[in-house]
Amino acid sequence: MTHDTTALNRKRHRFDGVAEVWLFGYGSLIWKADFPFIERRPARLRGWSRRFWQGSHDHRGTPDAPGRVLTLAREPGATCFGIAYLVTPAVFDALDHREKNGYLRHLETLEFDDGRCVDGLVYIADEHNAAWLGPAPDAAIAGQIAAAHGPSGANRDYVLHLADALRAHGAEDAHVFAIECELRRIVA
């Protein structure tokens, strides 16, 4: 699969006759909502875990020195905290560009704190995309993140902003916090 998944996403989900769509953010969409939304709510996605397994050749790194950003990995019994945004379909033009580096939109069930469940779209990059980096030891992931910088800034800022945002919401994420700890050790 190509790095740029914009055209694929536009074929996967058409919005004819749809006025509003829920979108689940689990990475930078938690702390950087640079798009208009109707409503914003904490939500959870069951059966998935956040992982720094996706390469960033376009935002937090370069083609020669990719950064690492989040994707989701299936994990039975896991729950991923995030933020759900109720949006109009028009925002997907910008979001598809933002998430173009190997991410495909998937329809998943989101759960709100009040127990209500809704279907929502989530961008997920799997091992079949050209930017996939896959698992690695925490220290290696943090080392790559510490060295990476791209048009959207230092890769480490992505991690640090996310860790701060998760703590502000009272959310736990052992993987993110372990990478943050290694990263702080490297840059200290």
> Is residue 182 annotated as part of the catalytic site, yes or no?
no
Active-site choice (20, 39, 75, 99): 99
Contact indicator for 69, 59 with CB cutoff of 8 Å = yes
Q: How many beta carbons lie within 10 A of that of residue 93, not counting itself?
A: 11
SS3 188: coil
H helices present in 109-154, as ranges: 138-147
177 φ/ψ angles, rounded to the nearest 5 degrees: -70, -30
Contact indicator for 69, 56 with CB cutoff of 8 Å = yes
Distance CA 163, CA 176 (A): 7
Could you give the residue numbers annotated as active site?
A: 99
